[in-house]
Every structure is written in structure tokens, then in C-alpha cells.
A and B are shown apart, each in its own frame.
Chain A
Amino acid sequence: MSSNKTSKSMSKSGSEIVKQEDVTLAVLIADSFSIRFAPVTESKPKALLPLVNRPMIEYSLESLLLSGVQKTFVYCVAHADQIRQYLKESKWMRSVSPMSIEVISQSPDDCRSLGDSLRDIDGKSLIRGDFILMSADVVSNVQLIPILEEHREKKKTDKGIVMTHIFKRSFPGHRSRSAEEELVLAINPTNGRILNYQQTTNLKKLSFPLEMFKENSLVDLHYDFVDTHISICSPVVLPLFSDNFDYQTWGDFVRGILINEEILNNTIYCHVLEGSYAAHVSNVPMYDAVSKDIIQRWAFPLVPDLNRSDKTPRHTLSRHNVYKQPGVTLAKESVLERDVAVGEDTKIGERTFVSQSVIGSRCTIGNDVHINNAYIWDDVEIKNKCRIEVALIADGVVLNEGVEIGRGCVIGPGVILAAGIKIPDNTRLMAHPPKRDNDFETSDEEDDKVATTPVSADSVAYVYHRPIEEDSDAESLIDELWGLDIDEDSESDEDDEDEAADDEDEEHEEELDVGDLPEDLNARSFYNEVLESLQRGYEEKIKGDNLVLEINSSKYAYNVTMKEVNMLVIKAMLSLPSVMTKKAATGTNDDWIALRPILQHFLSVLRNYLKNNQSMLDSLEALEEFGVHNPHFVKSICKVLHFLYGEDVLSEDAILEWYANPPNDPSALKTIRKTVEPFITWLEEAEEESSEESD
């Protein structure tokens, strides 16, 4: 059926505008709005990163084509010109292509999330019918048309259906379960309607609303689902995103729909894949998992020996899933053990051992090299006796003789490593010192001293430090755990999480520690915004009222609660001195000397926020949390309290109430409570005196 349409629309290509109702549409978002692959993605968009010697976007376009999609809008943000250029030269943009493609690009400043891009698409009013929404880093062999039909069928009985989201079943321990995207889904098993959706990455406990069980006689709770990032959307999805400008991600959208379910009567359904494959390359460990799935042919027919383009010839397949493009030279006694793909004109030296790896085109690999579980892209030169274990090596890297790369490393494009260097586990290297002019100034300044020196004198390599991500939750460091051998971590999953948490703590100490950064990414973004506003406000001596306005607008933009605002504003102020002096404060009185003028300047801001007892308690809690995470600050706490009390920002009652209640963090007892004790006793005495006087 669809083939007829294809040929019809094709033979009259271009000139005739095809009616949208008849055409199967897809929207491909060619950006993941994250920096998981940094520093590799600094110069190349993620959609064009090679996945088993083929740009990632090829897989998603191929998946859509194989499903019979006729028109695809490719929405690109970061490095949009490169994607546009790539597609222009590819077979997809040729007039005879059975699937027509339209590229929409948007600057990264205007579009920072999935939500923004969908709002933009809505603004352009390109789509009027049901469409397939997919991310450009999805690899799937799912036949989407039957699912689209199913969606339309459901629409007949349920007018409020906005989306059918596709999930794949993968039991815990499966390599394609991304640690960042663990989720629990409550569905109605009779019709597949989603009743509740929660991300469980960091949770030990889950709660479900009681109504859910009251309203539905049957509820299935699923922990075995993996989000494929493919959904079938009704056209109403786009205006829904436009109306709710706080929807940033798919998760926001689902939560929003479920909360407003009773008012708007919108529903979301899920489709669970049976026997087909779909996975989403969200981070480096997932890149590893998906590459292996492709090599082991789970993604058939998206396998290297069947896919070819004008530029890349076909791989030939031999025993044990070894794929070779033409022109591969294997020297004597070299071994390609299993699950290996080798690109065009690559030379592999004598006695070199390669297993479970992908090697790109035009690489030169020397003698006695050991490569296991590595992803090596194009034009890489690896000299004799190197050892690479679980790593990602980008284009044009040169590893001189005897370099050893630890587990989980990511080596950015153009890096040159001098002979004999050993790179520790989980290091990310790039070829130039980190730039200062990016959005993440707060953390970069801290790292500058370390980062501007190369790894060694003869190398062109600088350590890349992950900035505090605006768009990720605190758990992003999980993907640094890439490379832990399954056999090694025989502990339970819970231990894994603990490990992740440990890592995270360390990282925070290295960088700027502002206490418990909120889990919620909205609050995190809000915090960064506030910090920026305050810094600017202090440097340019902006009036307090204007700052309050600015902070309030950020509050609405990120949808944070009043309590969070109070706490985060205080934290931001306290961390301001160390941010501005670019070094961690050394303790003693320096802290206070730096802090005092700042607090003095922001008194009006503080007074604006700390109006009632509750807000004061919040701010005290924040103060305490900040102290717990910055031990050197503890000594100043007493002075801060005194100052704020003296300026009538904090009331006596609030301070006493705070002191009377046990702190959240028991470790605070020993240090902070002890330091403030003299101040409290002084306060109590003063109170007694005043009460005596009034008597």
C-alpha cells in the first residue's frame, strides 16, 4: 500500500505538494541536548558520530525508511550546518529517495531542550496529522506503521489520546538498560494506558497515588521497561508543549499530562515491543551497548554487512561476527577475535589482538597492540605495544609507542599522546585547553589551573572536566562507570548505585561545593541562573529590587518552589566569594571578610525573600547545609548569623526555633551547632534580659 504511494509521490517529486493526511510523517530530533559525549561533540554533532563505522543519523533514517515513513523533518540544533551539509550530500536528499527529508535548523541559544524544539515546530505549523517522534540517536528495526495504525484505532474510542510511547522490555542487568534512565511505569494492562511514570535512578522508595488503584481495577507496575525514545504523537502534542512552556523533556510532558488528566482528559498509551529491537544511544555506556547489539546483529537488518552508502562500502561478514570493509590489511599473527568491525584501508600490525571493538577507516595500528572493547574512529594512528581497554578514541588521535589507556576513557579528536604515557581510568581528554567562553563558567574557573596544562610535555592532550550540567541530574556521573567489567562488579545493583554516589561526591568536592545540589534539574538550572544574576548584580552594583525581579522571573521560568528559592538564593550568595576569587576560600576570617560586603549589598534582596518565619527557617537550613558541605565555612557561620540578626534579616524567634529543631544531617551537630552555640546563648540571654526589662 505504502509502496504505491511512495512511487507516486516520488515520480512527481518536488513539484507536487503531497497532502499531509495521506503521508506518514516523522520528526527526527537530531540533538540530545546533553553533553554526555563531550568533549567529542564539541566540534561534531552527536547525530554524525560514527556508530559501527556509520553516522548515527543513518540508522534512525534507515529505521524510518524501513517502516515506510514518507516524509521526515530533521530538526537540528547544535552544529546544524554540519548535519544539513551531510544530508545534502547523502542519498537521502536525492530527488529519487523514497522518503523525502526536510531539514529545519535552529540556533542552540533558542532551543535548549526537546520541549523548545517541539514548540518551534508547532510555531512553524508544519504538521497537522499524527506523526512519529524519534531522536536521531535511536537504532531500531521496529515496524512503526502498525503501531501508528494502533494509535489511530485507539483514537476512535478515546478522543483524548495524545501519545503512544514505545517501550522495550529488558530485564535488570541487561546492557541496554541505561543507568540514567531507570523508570517505573504503571499501566492499565487491558488497554495499555499509562497511569503513572516515575524516574527511579536515584530512588530507593516509590510512592503511587491511591486514586490510581481506586480508579483502575487492574494496574501493572513495570520496572522492566526501557524507554526507546520513539513515540507516536497526535498533532495535539505540539500545542500542548506550546501551552506549557515548562515542559522541557519527555518526562515533564508525561508527568504534566498525567497530573492534568482529569482537567484536560488527555491520555498517553504505551506500546511494548515484541521481538523487535530498539535502543537509544543516550551516553557512552549505551554507545557501547548499542554498538555490540549492532555487531551481534540484534538490530538486523541494520547491520554492517547490509548497509552501505555511496561513501562507505559494505562490510563483509566472517565467522564470529568479524566485519571487514574492503582494503583492510591484517599482518601475520594478528587476531580479530570476535565481534570486531574494521573500516576501509585500515592496517593492523603483527601480533596485534583485537576483540569486541570497532576500528574506523584509514587507521594504522602497529605491532603487539592489544585492543579490547574499544571504539576507534577514523584516521587514528596507534603505534606499537599500546594497550587499550574499554575506551572511545575519536578521529585523528595519535597514540605513540607503549601508551596505555585505562578503562572508560574518552579521547577527543586530534589528541596526541607521547610514548609510554599511562592514562588513568575514566579520563576524558581533548586536544585543546578548555575554552572559557562557554556557558558553564562557574565550574570552569575552578578547573582552569589543572586543565590548562597538558597531560605531559610532548602530548597534545588536556584533561576535560565535565561542567555542572544544566540539563542533567546529579546522577550523570553514572556513565563514568563505563568499563567496569561485569565480572568484576559481582555486587548487587545497589552497590553500584552507592559507588556512583561516591563518585559524585568526590567530583563535587573537586569542583565548587555548594552543598546538596538539588536533584531536580530545574532547580539546578535555577541555581546557576541565580548565581549568575547575583554575581553580575554585585559586580555592576545593580539595585536590589531589579535583582529580585530577575530572580523571580527565573523562578517562574524553571518552576521551582518558594522554599527552593529561599534556600538557593542563600546558597548562591554564600558561594559567591569563592566563585569570584576563583579559589576555594582558605578558612579563618578571609571568608567573612569577602562575604560581608556581599551580604551588605544584597540586604534588600534578602529582606525581600525572608519575610516570614518559614522563609527564615528555610534560609537557615540552607546556611547549615552549605556549612556541612564546606567545612571551612563553619567558622564564619556564627558571624553570618550575627550579621543577619543585626540587620534584622533574621528574627530572633526563627534562629531559636531553628536551633531547637534537630538538624537534618547528624554530622552538622558536632560542628555547626557547636560553633553557633555561643551566639545562641548570647541571644537567649539577650531575650531574657529584654523580657525582664519589659516585665
Chain B
Amino acid sequence: MPSLESEIEGIIETFTNNLKQRKFNGSRDLAINSVQLWKKIIGQMKWQNARELMDNIKKIGKDLAETSPSETVIGNMTRRMLKIVRDEYAMLQKGKQEDSDLQESLQKILTADEGDFDYTKNISTLKPAIMEHIGEFLAELESSEIDISAQALEHIHANEIIMTIGYSKTVSAFLKTAAKNRVFQVIVAECAPFFHGHKLASDLAEARISTTLIPDSAIFAMMARVNKVIIGTHSVMANGGLKAVCGTHTLALAAKHYSVPFVVCAPMFKLCPEYVCSLDQDGFNQFVSPEEVLNNDEGKLVSRVNVYNPIFDYVPPELVTLFISNTGGNAPSYIYRLLSELYHPLDVQL
């Protein structure tokens, strides 16, 4: 990126470095941080027109996504930025006539053509408009957790038994909000080999929710008594499937067997316009050190076995009953529609 000033390069370097050092606390934190990064970049970068800006965003975004291929949030945020630039440009170009037609129809989306705009016109008011839009988007991100947990009472009823797996901030907030008005029980699967479930269980217990921690192997046995499964996810794929922590597929299959509703709390920024092409391919899964599964101390054993430690499971959309996003509840089959509203079809491929 020699064309960009070194200051921007510095901001990006700090961001990728923080990313590598795992300084971000959860995917919402990452989303907020990357949008703030974009805000800085767009604010400081020199550009003449929207076309140039979009090209630069694409270039930097591609580079950022490469540093951590399994963090789909980074790619999503890049696409959102592009969408914001496109929207603002269109708005200013067409003037008021667009205002009346904010909710685009399916027909319009499908026939959207790059030919409509060439984005080369120099509009002086474009930059402040974009910055304002990004500011609104940041506010939306920050309130997404509260927006989701505000819907808790619609889904959790008195004396229900809820099952969840691993640790998710969104789920934790969701359950705690419900616990203010309702009495219910939670069963937490511990989610080996990382045992993040332990943390959630102690969090919930502290909030005076009656909580039971179970090993992953007991999921099926306990499922018969469960009224609802509520989980978080790493991201939602384009077909409505989930990329969620390892063990979620087991949970989803057990829920299906007992016809227990399987509810996923996923804020909008987790919606990802990518499809799963292969389960072990790069980009989908992430394999980490086998240390948690097999201790590296072990003598000859280490060189004689192959240990794989994936951190994600793919859950097909037919196992998911409902998505709860910050804008409301949606069925998996509706994800494609949400996606087309969130991202411009031309930006799907970065």
C-alpha cells in the first residue's frame, strides 16, 4: 500500500497486531473496532470521488481479511462500509426521489446494475454524509446486544428449561435480562476442549439463575427435559447455516430429535454473505494447537498420532428454528433477504 500515507498504514498495522495478539474481546468488540478503524481511514485518506474511495476500501479490506481468514466479521464490516459509500452516493446523486423508496424491492436488487452509477462524480458533501452514516452504524453496533436481549421476554417463559453451550456474551446478556422478570432454569454444556461453558455457568449462577453444568456427552440425555435451546454463534452463513463453536452440531441434532426449538442469537453484523463450500476448507474452519486435546509433553505418542483441534462446527440451516437479531426474529430461509439489504451484491466478492 505505498500510495497511502504511512499514518494510515500505522493504524492498520496496530489493528492487525492487536488482532494477532487476540486483544479483542469477542466479535462485537472486533466489529466495533474495525468500524472505528474504517472511520479513521476514510477520514484521513485522500480521495477525489466515491470510486477511488471504494477501490481503496476494497484493497485494504482484502488485506485485513487475509490476516485472519476465519474472522468473517472483518470482511462483513468492509462490505458494510462499501454499502454505506454506495448508499450515500446514490442518495446525493438522485436527491430526494430515492428517499421515498428506501425499502428496495427484490426486483430492484436483482436487476441492480453497476451501469446506474459510475461513482466518479466529485461531490463535496459526500464525505460528511459517509462519516455521519458510519457514526449511526457504530451506535447500532454498540446497542445490538441490548436490542437482542430486549426481546428475551418474548422467547423465555416462566419455569422453562433452557439449554445452551459454551460462552457467548449475547446469550449471557439475553438470559440475564429474562431472569429479571421470569424464573427459569439453564443447562450449560461445558464445550470441551476449551470449557468456555464453565465461565458462562458461573456468570449465570452469580446472576442467581438456577444453572446446571453438564459434560458435552450428556447433551442428548438432558435434551428430553429441555424446552428451548438458545445459543450464540460465530457467524451466520449466507444460506442460514451456522458457523458456531465446536459441539453445536451435536446440540442441534439432539434438539431436532426431540423437536426442541433451536434459537440462535445473532446480531446483524454476524451475517456473512459467504456459502460453505467445504467443511475443512480454509476460511471456514480454524484449526488451533492440539495442546488442549493431547498434551505436548507426551513422549513418543506425539510423533505417532495426528491430532486435529477444529474450533467451529457447521450447523445446516434446517436445524435452526429461529434467528434473533437486533432487528427482530427471522427464519433461516429469510437470511438471503437480510443479506441483500446489508450488502451490495457487487461487494460480496471482495
Contacts and interface: CB of A to CB of B under 8 A. Distances in A.
Contacts of B66: 308, 314
Contact of B13 (A98, A171, A297, A303): A98
A354 B277 CA distance: 26
Select the residue from B9, B21, B288, B307 with max chain A CB neighbours within 10 A: B21
B4 to A, nearest CB: 11
A37 B145 CA distance: 56
Interface string A301-328: 1010110100000101111110000000
Contact of B6 (A68, A95, A299): A95
A323 to B, nearest CB: 9
Contacts of A141: 289
Interface string B1-28: 0000011011011100110110100000
Contacts, number: 108
Contacts of B290: 296-298
B21 A66 contact: yes
A58 to B, nearest CB: 13
A307 to B, nearest CB: 10
Given A3-B18, A173-B299, A298 B282 contact: no
A522 to B, nearest CB: 33
A68 to B, nearest CB: 7
A297 B300 CA distance: 17
B68 A306 contact: yes
B287 A297 contact: yes
A169 B303 contact: no
Interface in B263-303: 280-282, 287-292, 296-300, 302-303
Contacts of A168: 296
For chain A, give the interface size range: 35 or more
Interface residues of B, number: 37
A321 B306 CA distance: 9
B309 interface: yes
B10 A96 contact: yes
Contact of B297 (A171, A292, A486): A171
A173 B301 CA distance: 8
B304 interface: yes
A96 B13 contact: yes
B13 A317 contact: no
Contacts of A11: 7, 10
Interface string A557-569: 0000000000000
B294 to A, nearest CB: 10
A277 B299 contact: no
A318 B282 contact: yes
A305 B282 contact: yes
Contact of B23 (A3, A13, A296, A297): A3
A171 B298 CA distance: 6
Nearest to B17: A98
A3 B306 contact: no
Interface in A247-300: 275-277, 289, 292, 296-300
A297 B282 CA distance: 14
Contacts of B280: 317-319
Given A277-B296, A318-B281, A292 B13 contact: no
Contacts of B23: 3
A302 to B, nearest CB: 10
Given A96-B13, A174-B298, A486 B20 contact: no
Contact of B9 (A7, A96, A173): A96
Nearest to B278: A318
7 contacts: A6-B17, A65-B17, A96-B9, A96-B13, A174-B302, A316-B282, A320-B306
Interface of B: 6-7, 9-10, 12-14, 17-18, 20-21, 23, 66-69, 280-282, 287-292, 296-300, 302-304, 306-309
